[in-house]
Structure 1
Amino acid sequence: MIIREPVRDRQQRKRDVLRRLEEDHDLWVATASAAGEPLLVPLSFVWDDGTLLMSTRRTNPTARNLTPRGRVRLSLGHTRDVVLVDGLAEVVEGRDLLRASADAFAAKLGWDPRDREPWVYLRVTPRSVKAWREEDELPGRLLMRDGTWLV
């Protein structure tokens, strides 16, 4: 039996999104190769000064796909509580990442990639954020547009 939650207003959805960005550990990362081949992988993340910070090997397709264009879609949650983030990603070498950001990543996730040569950080700046639970929350699901919160 599916228990439906009450419809949230946009302010509550934003609060819920920000809580998940602070508390969740993992998300789905969707990229595409230059040839248009889609890729979907889970990565751990930390919400760091208004951006999402992840790490992967430099040679992994996710990092390679982000290099030419930087466009990425991220998803938190399951199909009945969705947060979609479209953003622009940059690849940051471990030695170039601010110490406070690297320390926050290591503290939250329990591992530190900054001294692992083949690993890089991926910093995603959100451009669009949508959040909804069920069909009744589809109206008003857009919470951020062009990098600016609408609520």
Structure 2
Amino acid sequence: MQLEIRPDPAEVGRARRWARSRLAGAGIRDDEPLAETLVLLVSELVTNAVVHTGRPAVLRLCLPGKKPEAAEDATVRLEVADASGRAPVFRCADGDATGGRGLALVDGLADRWGWSRDETGKRIWCELDRCAKNEESGAGRAAAAEFEGLTAYEVV
């Protein structure tokens, strides 16, 4: 599943709505911690692509099927591809800054994340494991609560 994103900040809200509808279609409830976390990650990565590249991007989601036995321990993958080949750049955000923490949130909330160059630019991806252990632990929510002390990265 993919959604083409225009280089317009209003696209971030559209991307969140699209992700919520895809999650619902995969049987992932809106109030599940996985859904809340994934929508936040969509928001951060699409915002980075729109704000820092000024170019169109593509949002992709790989979701588990609807069968409960297949979906319970599945991995959800989110990917944003843009036409800028520039690497994520280290950025320190002080306590009063209104931005600059996006990838620190991704790092704290995702089970895995990374980026790579491709023939048209780059892809930034992250994965969330959908298993009861991770949902009950609240590790991602605890990391989000503590993100102010983390070093932030900016995607340009």
Question: With structure 1 as the length reference, what TM-score do the two structures score?
Answer: 0.26
Larger Rg: 1
More helix by proportion, 1 or 2? 2
Question: With structure 2 as the length reference, what TM-score do the two structures score?
Answer: 0.25
